[in-house]
Amino acid sequence: MRKFALLIFSIFLLVFSSCSSITTLIGNDLSGLPSWVSNPPEDRFRISFVGFGSSDSAEGARQSALRDVLGRISQSIGRDAYTLYYREIASTGRIESLGGNVERNYQTRGVDGEYRHYLLLTLDDELYQKERSEEYGKMVERDGRIDGFLSEAVAFYRENRDVDAFDSVLDALLVTMEGDVLERDHESGRLLDVLLTYLDRMMLDASIDSNGNIEVSLERRHGILHPPIVDAPVRIRYTRSGIFSSDGIGEMVMRTNDDGRYVFSSSNPYIVRGGDLMISIDLDYSKLERIEEGLGESFLSPLWALIDEKVIFMNFEGDDEEGSMKVFAIESDSHGIPLDWNVAVDGMNEYFKSTGVEIDVEKGTGEDEEMVSGYFSSSGSSETVAIVHLNQDDVVFTSGRYLVYVTGSVRLYDRNGNLTDETDSLGAVGEGASLPVALSEAFRQAGVNASMLLLSFI
């Protein structure tokens, strides 16, 4: 009901402003001006707008009047009429999509030498009302979507999921880029203030204990209490030096637990040899870049500055010793039949090479016990044998693309053939326009995920 009332009120303002605002602009002295300046013609089929502009040149005054009249239309239809129609009306005197024509022009020059230009623009009432009602409907729809995202943000915030709340406000801000909104609190500047508030309250910290474990914590600055921010993605970018005469560079993203923390063990291979770490809150930078592209670089400047302030840089000196492991990988289809390829094996070897860790992965065959005993009986030098099983789980076709899901397990055996550790939590998904592409990508990613897990054991 309130929005309907707003529509009625804005229509009243439109009718009133089409005649009264000219008086406001040029003063009450209308003597010598055409009657249509103060009393635009009334027609049941057309609606009139009067524009006024002044300049030290005749053409400048005309252009100023065009900008003025388009500004009045903008206020009425809720869209940027200048961007939409200026080039057309300046060159042709028409706005084709609204049935618009510049019906009258009147220009005079004052004793001060300044030109004053008046113009009468009429629009087809049916086209105008249609444009106005359609745009109003779009604004109502945008406001509804923004309300939904902001309500979602509030719910996340109450659950201490501040990063998810931040992301929901980003979604709301993206909606504002589609066009104007009715609610003032939904304007882009107001939403940016919300983002700044959320981010400013996020406190990222990291410390190293006596055993070389790195603990990352994320809390909310809120009065005396600092509640943990849970299930928040934290990005660790690492640069390790002195690994086989080259640097190892990469990154990983982990999520905070219910205490707002994540612990990187001193045996974790990303930091075990020492080097530099850059720790940051993993925000959705793809959305931020889209917003920056649509609203301009300067719009997000205060947010980028705050993001930079939240980054932590650390130096770590770790143990140079490296564990010893031999890996066999078995890749099977959905029926458990081994696949005649080495996609995951190749992916694992490439990943280990990129991290600077000498672990050899080869295609496995037969039962686990046979591979383990066969390796050690042939004088295998590694202390641990890892058996990785990767199996095609499901295939989904949606929106013209294939999604292939792969699940897997890892089992670790010592030199005596004893099972020392295991997990069945491996998983990956591959996407592609064709099934072979999606299948290959799924197994490659599953191999990478298995490698990341194995590295934590060396």
Structure confidence at residue 162 as a pLDDT band (50, 70, 90): very high
Structure confidence at residue 207 as a pLDDT band (50, 70, 90): confident
Q: CATH class for domain 202-316?
A: mainly beta
CB atoms near residue 416 (< 10 Å):
8
The predicted pLDDT at position 301 comes to 93
Q: What is the pTM of this model?
A: 0.50
Structure confidence at residue 261 as a pLDDT band (50, 70, 90): very high
Using the 8-state DSSP alphabet, how is residue 182 labeled?
A: S
The predicted pLDDT at position 250 comes to 65
- For the stretch 338-362, pLDDT in tens is 888 888 889 888 888 776 677 888 8
d(CA 449, CA 443): 10
Cβ atoms of residues 214 and 316 within 8 Å: yes
Domain boundaries, the chain: 2-131, 202-316, 325-455
Q: Which amino acid is at 117?
A: H
d(CA 447, CA 430): 12
d(CA 305, CA 408): 42
3-state helix, strand, coil split of the chain in percent (to 5) is 45, 30, 25
Looking at the chain, the whole-number percentage of residues with pLDDT higher than 90 is 42
H helices, E strands: number in the chain: 12, 16
* CATH 3.40.50.10610 is right for the domain spanning 325-455: yes
Using the 8-state DSSP alphabet, how is residue 338 labeled?
A: B
The predicted pLDDT at position 316 comes to 67
- Considering all CA atoms of the chain, what is the largest pairwise distance in Å, rounded to the nearest integer? 111
- For the stretch 63-113, pLDDT in tens is 999 999 998 888 777 677 888 899 999 999 999 989 999 999 999 998 889
Smallest CA-to-CA distance from 62 within 109, 3, 10, 9 is with 109
d(CA 405, CA 446): 9
The predicted pLDDT at position 170 comes to 96
In this predicted structure, the answer to whether residue 5 has a pLDDT above a threshold of 70 is no
Which position has the higher pLDDT, 79 or 281?
A: 281
The predicted pLDDT at position 457 comes to 63
Range 159-169 average pLDDT: 96
Looking at CATH, the fold of the domain delimited by 2-131 is given as Endonuclease I-creI (3.10.28)
CB atoms near residue 159 (< 10 Å):
12
Cβ atoms of residues 181 and 142 within 8 Å: yes
**Two structure tokens written together for 394:** 């499901």
